[in-house]
Amino acid sequence: MRRSLAIAMAMLPACAMMASAQEQTAPDTAFRRRGLPLDVAREAAMLFNTSTGLRVSGPLEIEAGREVHGDVAVLRGPLTIAGHVTGRVIAINSDVILRASARVDGDMLVVGGEVDGRDVADVAGEIRIYRQSMNFREENEAIYAERDTLTDDGQPWWHRWERHRQERSWSKLQIASAGAYNRVEGLPINLGPQIFVPTSWGSTRLDAYAIFRTGSSFSSHEDDLGHNVHGELRIGRLEGFALGGRLFNMVEGVEPWQLTDLEVGLASFVAHRDYRDYFQRHGGSVSASLFAGQIVSLTGSFSDERWLTREANNPFTLFGGDDSWRPNPAMDEGRMHVASATFAVDTRNDDENPWSGWHLIADWERGTGSLQRVGLTTTTNGSTITWSGPTPTVYSRGFLDLRRYNRVSPEGQLNFRALIGGWISGDPLPIERRLSVDGPGAMPGYGFRAQRAGEDLGTCNVGGSYPGQPALCDRIALVQAEYRGNLHFDFHPDWEDQSYGGEATSSRAARRARHFHRDGSWVVFADAGRGWLVGEPSGTLTYASGRIPSFETFRTDIGGGLDFGGVGFYLAKAMSDSGEPLRAFLRLRHRF
């Protein structure tokens, strides 16, 4: 436990610095963070325009003992309520501060702000909060939501600057992380130009990077450089289609769906613990996609690439530097043609802290080519990795990740996730395309790549005989549920008297300066999942292609923790295996 706390404290200062660099390496099919949903912006404008009672632009305070009959609607506040509001409260691009004496009989809608004091005030209706700012225009005494609300995120200033920069042509020399800090590359660094040209019909973009691998590129005995050149032509702004092409020589992680690059990189750099395996991809690809705002997209791609095994190096870490890294497992090697299609739907109100909506990713992949397949030979001295001669390989694989977020009370939400993926048809999946449900990214009650006797239903290894214990499952299934409730730390001393600085200290700024608060969430969760092989039925690990193991065979765990704006501290305990200890882990994003 003490080691976990030390790791957590060391990771926190680095989070802000690394997050922006990691986000620039998101895959083509990933969504950027969206702004306020258009339907919410229109609802807020309608409620503001039709509100009866008190409507102002700028700061407003409703003192204790004052009663407002009807609604209170505020633009650009803040709004402070200590009295009684008989109707609704609508706050747009404004914070709301509720005193202990505040009473609101109706609902509360806050767009582009936060609500302070929910736990001490009396609000009879539902409280809805959207952190993203709202774009609108004012005509006479009414406001109208602007359509580009969809792409104005209410993010920190550097994200807003990046978005506004895209309204004009620009070019720059980019120096940034090319992925997670890891035991194969160290820190991969992108170095090269970016060029962006907007037009009346869309935009064009070119990114041309050399990739320097700090774990090997600068050593005297290796010349290990990569590249990533990507061009894209987009027709349309909010809706349209895009065409792209890429030339690449990259080291890519297996199963990137479990943990983010930031989490994997910090765990590697700080704690000498790498939660992924890696292989090298060298080739080129073309892609085409249809998109409707940030909500729906359909992307197809075709690539001609060569896969190679990479060995672990010994990059620097803050702690555990004298320990040995887990071996990077041997992978199938050869040339492959890979066709894929990805359909994505994302109706969440916020992709970092969602309260409602759906998130669906459905992916299909077909690979054809010739691979030297990895084999395992057991001798009296242990297991030895061997490769077969070039073997024709044709496979298809699918992956479905469905999530639903539900607000069940003003301060609580119940979320669900169902995931299934793996082999569909053809030859056995290459090692690069196999799956697992193991460790903090899937089932945190079970240690990541822990040595287990017999059949491991998390990785489909048998007795841990494969060096590095990679993911070997042909198929996986995982279901997750969690309940999140609001958590408030609030300290507001009643110093508003003449004995502490006179009139000046009773100003709003002075009161806010003396007011400490921190909002977060308490979380309880449960998971059930397992992996299995496809083939001649045997024991509890191998099933026929048309069968799914019974739910009774699934591994299960439960847990809970505290989440402070995406930095979460959790405990988890395996339920289906009493031998697994209570495990502590840290996440830098919501679990799902």
The pair of structure tokens assigned to 558 is 């439960």
Residues in a beta bridge with 455: 462
Q: What is the pLDDT of residue 386?
A: 86
Contact between residue 398 and residue 422 where contact means Cβ atoms under 8 Å apart: yes
Boundary-marking domain end, from 313, 337, 365: 313
Domain-ending residue, one of 125, 147, 169? 147
Residue 321 covered by a domain: no
CB contact at 8 A, 551 and 506: no
What is the spatial distance between Cα 333 and Cα 486, in angstroms, rounded to a whole number? 49
Residue 340 lies in a domain: yes
Rounded CA separation 406/483 (Å): 10
Q: Residue 372 domain-assigned?
A: yes
Residue 527 DSSP code: E
Same domain as 58, residue 162: no
By CB neighbour count within 10 A (0-12 exposed, 13-18 middle, 19+ buried), where does 353 fall?
A: middle
**What is the rounded distance in angstroms from the CA atom of residue 95 to the CA atom of residue 382?**
64
DSSP structure class, residue 147 = G
**Which residue segment(s) compose the domain that 522 sits in?**
329-592
CA of 312: how far to CAs of 216, 326, 481, 523, in Å?
10, 8, 36, 36
Q: Verify that 406 and 362 share a domain, yes or no.
A: yes
Q: How far is CA 182 from CA 136, 251, 264, in A?
A: 45, 10, 8
Residue ending a domain, among 262, 286, 313, is 313
d(CA 338, CA 252): 15
94 and 157 fall within a common domain: no
461 shares a domain with 430: yes
Whether residue 552 sits in one domain with residue 405: yes
Domain membership of residue 283 (yes or no) is no
Cα angle for residues 104, 105, 107 (degrees, 5° grid): 85
One domain, residues 64 and 197: no
Q: How many domains does the chain have?
A: 3
In a shared domain, residues 26 and 42: no
Q: What is the CATH number of the domain that holds 501?
A: 2.40.160
DSSP string covering 395-463 = EEEEEEEEEEEEEEETTEEEEEEEEEEEEEEESPPPGGG-B---BTTTBTTS-TT---SSB-TTT--BT
Residue 465 domain flag: yes
563, 583, 535: which is closest to 3 by C-alpha?
583
Walk along the chain (592 residues) and give the pLDDT tens digit of each residue. 434 433 333 443 343 333 334 333 333 333 334 567 777 888 899 899 888 889 999 999 999 999 999 999 999 889 999 999 999 999 999 999 999 999 999 999 999 898 988 888 999 888 888 888 888 888 878 888 875 544 444 444 445 555 555 556 778 888 888 889 999 999 999 999 999 998 888 899 999 999 999 888 877 667 789 999 999 999 987 789 999 999 999 999 999 999 999 999 999 999 999 999 999 999 999 999 999 877 899 999 999 999 999 999 999 999 988 899 999 999 999 999 999 999 999 988 777 778 888 999 999 999 999 999 998 776 666 678 888 999 999 999 999 999 999 988 767 899 999 999 999 999 999 999 999 999 999 999 999 998 888 889 999 988 767 888 999 999 999 999 999 998 876 555 544 444 444 444 344 444 444 444 556 889 999 999 999 999 999 889 999 998 999 999 999 999 999 998 779 999 999 999 888 999 999 999 899 9
Calculate the dihedral angle through the C-alpha atoms of 287, 288, 293, 296, rounding to the nearest 10 degrees.
Answer: -90
140 falls within a domain: yes
261 belongs to a structural domain:
yes
Please indicate, yes or no, whether residues 48 and 142 belong to a single structural domain of this protein: yes
Are 141 and 70 in the same domain? yes
Task: Provide the 3-class DSSP secondary structure of residue 569.
Answer: strand
Same domain, 461 and 591: yes
E strand residue ranges, 93-169:
96-98, 103-104, 108-111, 115-116, 122-123, 127-130, 136-139, 142-145
Please state the length of the chain: 592
Given this model, what pLDDT does residue 162 score?
Answer: 52
Query: Is 287 within the bounds of a domain?
Result: no
Identity of the amino acid at 302 = F
Strands 278-292 and 239-253: antiparallel
Give yes or no: residues 22 and 166 share one domain: yes
547 and 413 co-located in one domain: yes
Distance CA 93, CA 36 (A): 11
Cα 155 from Cα 356, distance rounded (Å) = 19
pTM score of the predicted model: 0.73
Cβ atoms of 179 and 188 closer than 8 Å = yes
Of 229, 231, 248, which Cα lies nearest the Cα of 197?
231
